[in-house]
Amino acid sequence: MMDLEMPVLDGVTTIANASAIYPKIKFVVLTIFDDDDKIFSAIKAGACGYILKEESRPVINDMIMNLWQNGAGPISPSIAYKILQMMQHQPSIDTSKKQVALDVFKLSEREKEILTLLSEGLDNKEIGVRIGISPNTVKKHCSNIYTKLHVSSKSQALRIAYTKGFV
């Protein structure tokens, strides 16, 4: 169970990072927030359910038991209705797994490009030559990538990138 608003790290980022490292864990959001952006961000990050705290304890317990026993993703009825409304009224939705995964981390276009080049095995100097920036600038972009992915090394960043399917 995960709330979306937490003091150190928000729930969406936590779900995205943890589900990349532990793909078998099922993350369920339990929150007061019912705005469209938060709902889709959580689902895109890997949440398998979204329950509002206004649900009664027995209803929440039943939803969790159903997840445990049947694998059914628990979603509050009002959230399910909102999801259906949003899906029906959106002219087109980019369902590209790569785009969805990257959107969660809010990487810039340059950071996405550098992460892709890192996945090809290039070092900072080679990346700099390829895209026309200095190795120090590449290093700074890498630092920003690590911060946004909440990791401390290239190998950890690449593990998340590979697990989420965006490289």
Q: What residues contact 137, with CB distance under 8 A and at least 6 apart?
A: 128
Mean pLDDT, range 37-51, rounded to an integer: 88
Mean pLDDT, range 51-57, rounded to an integer: 94
| pLDDT, averaged across the chain | 84
Same-domain pairing of 23 and 68: yes
- pLDDT of 93 reads 45
- DSSP per position, 42-79: HHHHTEEEEEETTS-HHHHHHHHHHHHHH-PPPB-HHH
Which CATH number does the domain housing residue 69 bear?
3.40.50.2300
| Containing structural domain, residue 49 | 11-89
Nearest CA-CA partner of 164 in 19, 47, 26 = 19
- Report how many domains make up the chain: 2
pLDDT in tens, 82-134: 887 776 665 554 445 555 555 677 888 999 899 999 888 888 999 999 999 99
pLDDT in tens, 132-144: 999 999 999 999 9
**pLDDT of residue 162 exceeding 90:** no
Residue at which a domain ends, from 89, 116, 135: 89
Contact 18/27 with Cβ under 8 angstroms?
Answer: yes
